[in-house]
Amino acid sequence: MLAAHRMNATLYLNSGRLGAAGRLSWTQASAFAAAGTEIGGHTVDHVNLRRASTATARREVCADRATLAAHGFAASSFAYPYGAFDARVESIVRGCGYTSARTASGVGGPGQPSAEGMPPRDSYAVRMAPAIRSSTTLAQIERYVRKAERRGGGWVVLLVHHVCHRCDTYSIERRRLGALLDWLAPRAAHGTVVRTVGSVIG
Query: 43-55 pLDDT, tens per residue?
Result: 999 999 999 999 9
The CATH code of domain 8-98 reads 3.20.20.370
State residue 43's pLDDT score: 98
Beta pairing class for 10-13 and 126-128: unpaired
188-202 mean pLDDT: 93
Q: How many helices (H) and strands (E) does the chain have?
A: 6, 7
**In this predicted model, what pLDDT tens digit does every residue of 77-108 receive, in sequence order?**
999 999 999 999 999 999 999 999 999 999 98
pLDDT value, residue 22: 86
Q: What angle do CA 110, 111, 113 make, to 5 degrees?
A: 100
Give pLDDT, residue 57.
98
pLDDT in tens, 54-78: 999 999 999 999 999 999 999 999 9
C-beta separation of 78 from 40 below 8 A: yes
pTM value is: 0.94
User: Would you place residue 185 in the very low, low, confident or very high pLDDT band (cuts 50, 70, 90)?
Assistant: very high
SS3 for 166? coil
CA count, 13 A, side-chain hemisphere, 22: 2
Q: What is the DSSP string of 74-101?
A: ---EEE-GGG---HHHHHHHHHTT-SEE
The answer to whether residue 29 scores a pLDDT higher than 90 is yes
Residue 181 has pLDDT above 90, yes or no: yes
pLDDT value for 109: 84
Average per-residue pLDDT in the chain? 95
pLDDT of residue 44: 98
User: Which whole number is the average pLDDT over 139-150?
Assistant: 95
